[in-house]
Structure 1
Amino acid sequence: MLKTYGLIIVAISFTQLLKAQKKPLPVIDMHLHALGANDQGPAPQSVGAPFTDLGLNDPKDDFRKVFMKAVKTGMWADHHITSPTTDDSLRQMTLSVLRKNNIYAATSGEIEKVRRWKAEAPDRIMSSIQWTFGLEKAEGLTLDSLEKLFRSGEFKVFGEISIQYEGYTASDSAFEPYLAMAERLDIPVGIHVGPGQPGAPYVFATNYRARLHSPLVLEEALLRHPKLRVYAMHAGWPMLDDMLATLYTHPQLYVDLGVICYMIPTKEFYYYLERLVNAGFGKRIMFGSDNMIWPQSIELGIQTINKAPFLSPTQKRDILFNNAARFLRLTEKEIKAMHE
């Protein structure tokens, strides 16, 4: 009887061990969006994963129509992913990916939409505030209202700051009060510095400019707010030399790999990422999917990093988890809970 009981205990312990081993190591996604299915245009839409052509167009044609045809048909890519057709399916599919892959995500979007996603997956969603000058007017996201939201503890991250689409940089004086508020409250800030959709000023953002891709536009803001936690979204792609120089000059700056980890040609992404790592900045690179309406993009981004032949296992874990945990100042207790 005792022998049988002992065998049962061993079997239970072995089963529990197998379950523990099956759970993936945690990932922190610093760049996720809570959107509706039609927020990028009528669903469904297809996006290159990755694209093989980026913005191919004859100037006699209306690029807006060319681009919409490309994302409807996937014609600029050998492999593409297609978006869900309803808000509910988009939310449920995204949250399912987070749970399956043990992902914790800094998630921005309309305030009430983020709240709904958070209510459905409180252990996976880290609430963030997406912001532009346009949203300040449209949704009442004034300096005072933002400060109240952050002081309440409900929202943990200020970003994505997408003022590049409006022709502004983070160093512009108009944005200065918001950075001062974030520094005073010790709120991490994620700033869009890099690519929008191909041909953005010809499609929807008339003030968008390629020169604003450069991370050098962050310099004055970083110098004025040396205690501010800032990460450059999209790692400033494709302005590699500017990104290296900015990281070297401003040791507090981090980057995320949003969108470039799955959408641009893999060879180009690997070239860009390897240069950042080889230059000594592997401890300041964070995973970000920039998932908008394609939940599959999250897993594709993680797989691309895990398959990178030039990254060691330690470097992969740094990018997928450790660097973000440090940036967010997670406690040992919080980190342990994410691993359990």
Structure 2
Amino acid sequence: MTTKTFGFSIFLLCLSTITFAQKQSAQRIPIIDVHLHATNENAASVEKVLQQMEDHHVVLAVLSGADRELAVAWKASAPHKFKIGPSFPCTDGMYPRMYPCFPENNGWPDLDWLRTEYEDGRMSALGEMLYVYYGISPADKQLDPYFKLAAELSIPVGVHAGHGPPPQSRMEGCCPNFKEEMGNPLLLKPVLDKYPDLKIWLMHGGEINFHDQAIQLMKAYPNVYADMSILNSVMPAELHARLLKSFIDAGLEDRLMFGSDNLPYGLILKRLNELDFLSDKQRRGILYDNAARFFDLSEETKVKHLGN
């Protein structure tokens, strides 16, 4: 996808936001967005994101951040709206959007610091894990201590599972070690065999190239879920519908979650509402119930979400 085409896609997404916000507000279906990034980019500032969340009844978002101070600032702006996790590893300490990513440790969060963040309740997720951008397998020994910590503390892990943006859509200087083949979800099998209780969600759901492999992994490991960000927005609607239906036909409807990847909610939600093969229960599962189960939300939290 060219930069020009991508920009036009975002324009179309924005056009649909206002009218769909009214429809979604009337329905008042609570939504959990499991794929959001803390950024300092004006188009996706915390103020704009929180307004979108309010407009579309997004009651909770799982927020990944490579800039620790920025992620903390986002959460502080709305403590009950965000769960936070670190996004890494980053080549040479630079995030793919070309701002510092744990530069004090060359793109990797310090494990002792991370344990403290989890144990003190400031962080409650791991990821988006960017080993595809770093050019290593998820089974690489450098990643093992992080998976081990997540398994020990029952921390859900979000991984970039897909081929990623084409070279022409990457920022200058981004990810010189990028290896598309590392986005194959089946490469996670050794990790899941070693840590059988580990909960992983496949961000982008394998995209196009690794869709079948995502289904294979999810069928083999019941603690693996997926979101379909990017597929559900800038990719063609027909492609999204076909891949979503194949997940459902494979019996995985209870493990699909809503993710935006910071793209406007309007068209994503409009697409879901227009899919005639989705039942109300399946649609609600994608929007809220499946994520509430995956992230083990308390009954008190769910009552608050459902009552709003």
TM-score range, shorter chain: 0.7 to 0.9
Q: 1:29 aligns with which of 29, 33, 43?
A: 33
Identify which range, 195-204 or 280-289, moves more after superposition. 195-204
Query: Alignment partner of 1:93: what SS?
Result: helix
The answer on whether the counterparts of 2:75 and 2:83 sit within 8 Å (CA) in structure 1 is yes
Q: Which residue of 2 aligns with 1:48?
A: none
In 1, Cα distance between equivalents of 2:127 and 2:53 = 20
Question: What residue ranges of structure 2 are gaps of 5+ in the alignment?
Answer: 1-24, 94-100
1:169 counterpart SS class: coil
Name 1:58's counterpart in structure 2: none
Q: Which position in structure 1 is the counterpart of 2:64?
A: 108
Cα drift, residue 192 of structure 1: 0.7
1:190 match: secondary structure: strand
Consecutive unaligned residues of structure 1, counting only runs of 5 or more, are 1-20, 39-82, 85-89
In structure 2, relative to structure 1, the CA distance for the partners of 1:209 and 1:106 (3 Å cut) is same
Matched, 1:210 2:214: no
- When normalised by structure 1's length, the TM-score is 0.74
Is the partner of 1:131 in helix, strand or coil?
Answer: coil
- Distance in 2 separating the partners of 1:144 and 1:242: 34
Match of 2:236 in 1: 265
Q: Write out aligned runs for 1:178-217 (5 A).
A: 178-199=146-167, 204-217=174-187
Residue number in structure 1 paired with 2:304: 337
Q: Is the 8 A contact 1:201 1:208 kept in 2?
A: no
Which residue does the alignment assign to 1:91?
46
Give the distance between the partners of 2:86 and 2:160, measured in 1 at CA.
Answer: 13
Identity fraction in percent: 30
Specify which of 123, 126, 131 is matched with residue 83 of structure 2: 126
Q: Distance in 1 between matches of 2:274 and 2:127?
A: 28
Count how many residue pairs are aligned between Structure 1 and Structure 2.
267
Q: What's the C-alpha RMSD, in Å, of the aligned pairs? A: 2.0
**SS of 2:123 mapped into structure 1:** coil
Which of residues 286, 295, 298 is equivalent to 2:257?
286
Structural mapping, 1:1-340, within 5 Å: 22=26, 24-37=28-41, 83=43, 90-103=45-58, 104-109=60-65, 110-133=67-90, 134=93, 135-136=101-102, 137-138=105-106, 141-199=109-167, 204-238=174-208, 239-291=210-262, 294=263, 297-340=264-307
Partner SS state of residue 35, structure 2: strand
Label 1:225 to 1:263 Cα distance change in 2 as closer, same or farther (>3 A). same
Normalising by the residue count of structure 2, what TM-score does the alignment of the two structures yield?
Answer: 0.81
1:171 and 1:218 in contact (8 A); partners too: yes
Kept in 2: contact 1:201–1:207 (CA 8 A): no
- SS where residue 238 of structure 2 aligns? helix
**Cα distance in 2 between the residues matched to 1:33 and 1:299:** 18
Q: Secondary structure at the match of 2:178?
A: coil
